[in-house]
Amino acid sequence: MKKVIEFRKVGKAFGDKVVYSGLDLEIFGGETVTLLGGSGQGKSVCLKMVIGLLYPDAGEIWVLGENVMDLEREQLRVLRKRVSMVFQGGALFDSLTVLDNVGYGLREHTKMNDREIRDRVVICLDMVGLSSDDYPGILDMMPANLSGGMRKRLALARSIALEPEIILYDEPTTGLDPQNSTRIAKMIRKLQAELGVTSVVVTHDMATAWHVSDRVAMLYDHRFPYIGTVEEFRQSDDPVVRDFVHGRME
């Protein structure tokens, strides 16, 4: 399989706090990799460095064949059309309708007309279970009028509007009840299967991690020393892995 994301000996610190030291990670096209680790260890920093919102202090990060650190502003803009990020809080525009939230990137980065944008938005909403048949008038609703689960799905719809090759998910089920968490996990798997995207998921929710992952990478001691399939993690005899997994599941 082709590598689409690669961290090479990456180092990152914020002042005296070391986040990464010699971190290596490879992610291959079409797979879903979940990043696990304790709170505040810097898992979300990984996602932000993939799209150039943060930069490493050492090492290299290669995404879709390009070294992110070498990209100029316009090149980064092009990369961010190919790599979409679903932020923890959704990062929705409260003053824009559902239609304009999902269509925002299409207006900014394409030459599509209003009708074409509307049609694309409808397709994206259908894919995440927010069709107008089930939710009449949803295109004209405001984010504040939606439930927490619906806002998460709206953020997913916006993330796929530009047909990205990679989707980054930062805590996609935070704040949701178990039913909606399961629904979002199923959506992540559905989008991977239907769109063939590569997905990188940061989550504290072990049930979500087990459901969506092809592989799991666990952050420990500023690196990802533990990388494997869900089954390998579940059966691991390593005390660090066992303590983390079973501690999270209790």
Q: What is the CATH number of the domain that holds 32?
A: 3.40.50.300
pLDDT one digit per residue (tens) for the chain, 250 residues: 799 999 999 999 999 999 999 999 999 999 999 999 877 788 899 999 999 999 999 999 999 999 999 999 999 989 998 999 998 766 789 999 999 999 998 998 889 999 999 999 999 999 988 998 889 999 999 999 998 889 989 999 999 999 999 999 999 888 888 888 888 898 899 889 888 999 999 988 888 999 999 999 999 999 999 999 999 988 888 888 888 877 654 3
The total number of structural domains in the chain stands at 1
Task: List residues bridging with 86 in a β-sheet.
Answer: 169
Task: List residues bridging with 18 in a β-sheet.
Answer: 13
Pairing of strands 58-63, 3-14: antiparallel
Q: pTM above 0.75?
A: yes
Determine the structural domain holding residue 163 and report its residue range: 3-249
Distance CA(209)–CA(230), nearest Å, equals: 8
Q: Which two tokens stand for residue 14?
A: 């914020």
Q: How far is CA 30 from CA 85, 104, 181, in A?
A: 16, 26, 22
Q: Strands (DSSP E) along the chain, which ranges?
A: 3-14, 17-28, 32-36, 58-63, 66-67, 83-86, 166-170, 198-202, 215-220, 223-228
